[in-house]
Structure 1
Amino acid sequence: MRTEDLIHFCAPGRLIIGNGTRHQLPQLLARLGYRSGVLVTDAFFVEKTPWVHEYTEAAGRLGIATLVYPGGLPDPTTQLCDEATAILRQQLGGEQPDHVIALGGGSNIDLAKALSLTLPQGQPIGAFTGDIGGCRPLPLIALPTTSGTGSEATPGAILLDPANATKIAVMDNALRPQIALIDPEFTYTCPPKVTADAGIDAFTHAIESFLTLDCARFDRGGSPDPGYSGRSALTMLFAKASMRLCFAWMERAYQHGDDTEARVGMAYASIYAALSYGTAGLNAGHGIAYAVAGQTHKSHGSTNAVMLPYVLDALCGTRQSELAEVAGLMGLATSCPDESARRVPVAVRAMIGRLDIPTDLRAFGVEERMLDALVTDALAVTRLAKAFPVADAALAYRQIVLNAWEGRLSGQA
C-alpha cells in the first residue's frame, strides 16, 4: 500500500484466460442476451484458420447472427475505418448490431474499437478524436491472437491519419472491451518475428508503466473518469508479475515456437502488462518509438525495443530503487543500488539483441541528420512526455536519442 496513491483502476468487464476458452464464447454471449454481431478480423484468419468459421457456426446454432468483416490491415487508418463503416452499414441493411468482436492482433482490435463507435450512426471516426462525448460504443469482445499489444484491456484505439501520416488516439474507458478472452492457443502458430515483436512490446508495457509518473502527480485534465491516471501500488503488482513472466518465457517462446508452456507464459505476461499500463499509462519509450516508426515505418515492437534500454538508462537517477528491484528479478542485484539499476538497461539491451532486433538507432537505419526531427516529433506526443518522471523531459529526450544513436549506456563496461 502507498497512502499517497489516488487509484482509478479500469479493466475489461470480464477477463477469461485459458487454452481452448474460445469455445466458451458463443454460450457466454447467448447467456448475456446478444443476438447480432459484427466480427472484425483480416483475410488471414478467415482463409488460413478454422477459428472464424468455428465461431460463426457455433454462435449461429445459439441464435446469434454474425457478420464477418475480413478487411483488417496492419496499422489501420482512419480512411479504412470510415470505409468499413459504410460497407458494414450497407450490409446490415439498417439493422443495428448489439456487439462487435475483434479477432487478431492490436491492429484488428483497434479497428474494432473504432467501429464500435462509428457503426451506430455512421459518423466518421474523426468525429471522436480526443473525446467521444456522450456517445456509447457497442459492447466489444476482444480475442487477441498475439501476446503483446494488450489492446484487449486498454481504453484507446490508435489509428493512422493518412492525411499527415500521424497516429491519432480515440480514447475513453467505454472503449475497454466488455469481454477480453485470452486463449493462448491462438498464439501457437505465431512466426518468430511476430513472437519477438509482441513479446518485447509486452515487456516494454510492463517496465515502462512500472517506472512511470505516480498517480498522485498525474495530470488527469480534471476528468472524473480518466483513461490513464499514473502508476499505483496496484498497477505495479501487475507490472512485476508481467516482467517475471517475460524473463522466464519470452526468449524461449521466440526460440522454440512449439513450446506451449512458453506460449501460455507469454499470454499471461501480456495481459498482466496490459492491466498495468492500461491504467498507469506509458511515457518516453513509446513517445520516442512513435517518432522512430514515423521515420522508419518499422514494426511497433521493434521501435519500442530499440529505444527501451536508453530510456531506462535515463531513469537510473529518478527511478533507482525501482530499477534495482528489476535487477533483482533479473538476478543482477548487487549491494549497491546505483550499480544494480545501471545493470538493467545493459541486460535489457542484450535480451533485445537475442531476439534479433537492432539495439541502436544507427543499426536500425536512422541517419544522424534525422535525430533533431526525431526529438521534435517525439516531444510532440505531449501526453507521454508529460508522464516521463524527470525534471526536464526535452533535455532527457535529446540525450536519450543521442545515446541510442551512439549505442551508449552508463552501465556498460
Structure 2
Amino acid sequence: MRVEDLVYFCAPSRLVMGAGCRKQLPALLRRLGYRRGLLVTDTFFTGATPWVDELVAGARAHDVELLVCDGGMPDPTTTLCDAATAAVRERLDGMPVDHVIALGGGSNIDLAKALCLTLPGGKPVRAFLGSIDPGTPILPLVAMPTTAGTGSEATPGAILVDPDNATKVAVMDNRLRPAVALVDPEFTYTCPPRVTADAGIDALTHAIESYLTIDSASFDRGGEADPGYSGRNALTMLFAHESIRLCGRYLLRTYQDGSDSEARIGMSYASVYAALSYGSAGLNAVHGIAYAVAGQTHLSHGTTNAVMLPYVLDALADVRREELLAIARLLDISDGDAGIAVARVPVVVRELVAAVGLPTTLQACGIGPGDVDALVRDALAVTRLAKAFPVPDVAARYGAMVRKAWAGTLSGAAHALAQPRRVA
C-alpha cells in the first residue's frame, strides 16, 4: 500500500485468457445478449488463417450474425476509418449492429475502437477528437489481439494517423475499453521474429514506463471526473512488476524460437499485465520521443520505443533508484552493489534490444545530427506524455536523452560486463 495514492483504475469488463480460449467466444456473445456484430480484421486473417471462418460459423451456431470487414491496415488513418464507416453502413442498409469484434494487432483494434464511435451515427472520426460527449453512443468492443505487445485490449483510446499532416491523433474515452478482452496466445504462435520482437519490446516498454511514471497523487487529471490515465499507484505497479518479470524470462526466447509455446504464453500474459498497468497509469518520455522518431523515420512503433527505452532508463536513475533496483533484480542483474546494479539496467535492456534485432541508436534509425533539435521539439510537443515524466526539468532531460540516444552513450556502460541471461 502507498498511502499517498489516488487510485483510479479501469480495465476491460471481462478478461478471458488462455491457450485456445477463442473457442469460448461464440457462447459468450450469446450470453451477453449480442445478436449482430461487425468483425474488424484484415485480409491476412481472412485469407491465410481459419480463425475468421471459425468465429463466424461458431457465432452463427449461437444465433449471432457477424459481418466481416477485412479492410484493416497498419497505422490506420482517419480517412480509412471514415471510408470503412461508410462502406459498413451501406452494407448494413439500416440494420444496426450491437457490438464490434477486433481480430489482429494494435492497428486493427484501433480501427475497431474508432468504428465503435462512428458506426452508430455515421459521423467522421474527427468529430470525436478531444473530449467525447457522455451522451455519445459507443458500441461495445470485443478485442482479440494476435500479437503480444500492443495492450490495446485494455486501454481507453485509439491512435489514428491524420493524413493531412502525418501526425497521430487519438480518440479517447473509458467506454472504448473493451467489454471483452479475449487473449488467446495461440494467435501469436505464427508471428514472425520481427513482429515478435517489435511487440515484445513494446510490452516491456509499457510495463517499465508505467512502473516508473509520475505518481497518481501528482498526476494532472485536468479536472476530469473519468480520466483515461491517472498516474501510477500500487495496483498498476503490481501488474507492471509481473510483466517485467515475464518479459525478462520469455521475450528473448520467443524471438529465438517461435515454436516455444511456454514463452509465447508467457509473453501474452506479460502484454496483458503491462496493459493493465499503463492502461490506467499512463506513459511518458519513451513513447513521447518515439512518436517524434516515427514522424521522421516512419519506423514501426516497437522499434522506435526500443531505441529510446535504454536512454530514458539511464536518465531516471536519480529519481527512480529504488524502482530501477527492483527492475535490475527482475532482469537477473545480480551485482551486490546497488548502484552498479541500477547503472546496469539500461545497458542490459539495450543488450536485449540488440539481441532481438532492433536498432540501439538514433543514428541507426536514420536520424541525422541536424535532425536532433527538431526531434526534441516534436517530442516535447506531445505534452500529455512530457507532463508525466517524473523529473524536475523535462525539457533539459529530453534534450540530453535524445543526444545520448543519437551517440549511443549510457552512463552505466563501464559496468557492462556480460552476464548470462536466464533462459529457463
The answer to whether the superposition gives a TM-score over 0.5 is yes
Aligned length: 413
Q: Secondary structure at the match of 1:79?
A: helix
- Aligned match of 1:372: 373
- Aligned match of 1:60: 60
- Tell me the CA shift for residue 40 of structure 1: 0.3
2: CA distance, partners of 1:356 / 1:188: 19
1: CA distance, partners of 2:144 / 2:407: 40
- Aligned match of 1:3: 3
Unmatched tracts of structure 2, length 5 or more = 415-424
Contact 1:40 1:100 in 2 (8 A): yes
Residue type of the alignment partner of 1:402: R
Q: Which moved more, 1:111-120 or 1:334-343?
A: 334-343
Contact 2:142 2:180 in 1 (8 A): yes
Q: Secondary structure at the match of 2:123?
A: coil
TM-score, structure 1 normalization: 0.99
- Aligned match of 1:215: 216
Q: Secondary structure at the match of 2:111?
A: helix
Alignment of 1:350 onto 2:348: no
User: After superposition, what is the alpha-carbon deviation per residue over 1:360-404, rounded to whole angstroms, capped at 9, x for unaligned?
Assistant: 111121111110110011001000000000001110000000000
Q: CA RMSD in A?
A: 0.7
User: After superposition, what is the alpha-carbon deviation per residue over 1:338-368, rounded to whole angstroms, capped at 9, x for unaligned?
Assistant: 3221110011001100001110111121111
Residue type of the alignment partner of 1:408: T
Contact 1:147 1:266 in 2 (8 A): yes
Contact 1:129 1:170 in 2 (8 A): yes
2: CA distance, partners of 1:207 / 1:6: 20
- Tell me the CA shift for residue 277 of structure 1: 0.3
2: CA distance, partners of 1:184 / 1:402: 38
Matches within 5 A, 1:102-251: 102-134=102-134, 135-251=136-252
- Aligned match of 1:34: 34
1: CA distance, partners of 2:313 / 2:15: 31
Residue type of the alignment partner of 1:98: D
- Aligned match of 1:259: 260
Contact 2:285 2:312 in 1 (8 A): yes
TM-score, structure 2 normalization: 0.97
2: CA distance, partners of 1:330 / 1:204: 14
1: CA distance, partners of 2:237 / 2:137: 30
Contact 2:156 2:172 in 1 (8 A): yes
Residue type of the alignment partner of 1:225: D
1: CA distance, partners of 2:141 / 2:258: 30
- Aligned match of 1:331: 332
- Tell me the CA shift for residue 333 of structure 1: 4.2
- Aligned match of 2:397: 396
Contact 2:42 2:108 in 1 (8 A): yes
User: After superposition, what is the alpha-carbon deviation per residue over 1:229-254, rounded to whole angstroms, capped at 9, x for unaligned?
Assistant: 00001000000100100011000000
2: CA distance, partners of 1:149 / 1:331: 25
1: CA distance, partners of 2:238 / 2:66: 38
- Tell me the CA shift for residue 335 of structure 1: 4.1
Q: Which moved more, 1:138-147 or 1:339-348?
A: 339-348
Alignment of 1:317 onto 2:349: no
Contact 1:56 1:66 in 2 (8 A): yes
Residue type of the alignment partner of 1:58: G
- Aligned match of 1:97: 97
Residue type of the alignment partner of 1:165: A
Residue type of the alignment partner of 1:21: C
Residue type of the alignment partner of 1:302: T
User: After superposition, what is the alpha-carbon deviation per residue over 1:83-117, rounded to whole angstroms, capped at 9, x for unaligned?
Assistant: 00000000000111000000000000000000000
Contact 1:321 1:337 in 2 (8 A): no
1: CA distance, partners of 2:353 / 2:325: 19
Contact 1:385 1:393 in 2 (8 A): yes
Residue type of the alignment partner of 1:119: L
User: After superposition, what is the alpha-carbon deviation per residue over 1:132-190, rounded to whole angstroms, capped at 9, x for unaligned?
Assistant: 11213100000000000000000010000000000001111000000000000000000
2: CA distance, partners of 1:4 / 1:205: 23
2: CA distance, partners of 1:80 / 1:197: 24
1: CA distance, partners of 2:327 / 2:137: 40
User: After superposition, what is the alpha-carbon deviation per residue over 1:194-234, rounded to whole angstroms, capped at 9, x for unaligned?
Assistant: 00000000000000000000000000010111000000010
Residue type of the alignment partner of 1:29: L
2: CA distance, partners of 1:324 / 1:244: 13
1: CA distance, partners of 2:107 / 2:200: 16
- Aligned match of 2:81: 81
Contact 2:155 2:275 in 1 (8 A): yes
- Tell me the CA shift for residue 58 of structure 1: 1.1
Contact 1:313 1:409 in 2 (8 A): yes
Contact 2:120 2:137 in 1 (8 A): no
Q: Secondary structure at the match of 1:12?
A: coil
Contact 1:136 1:174 in 2 (8 A): no
Residue type of the alignment partner of 1:183: D
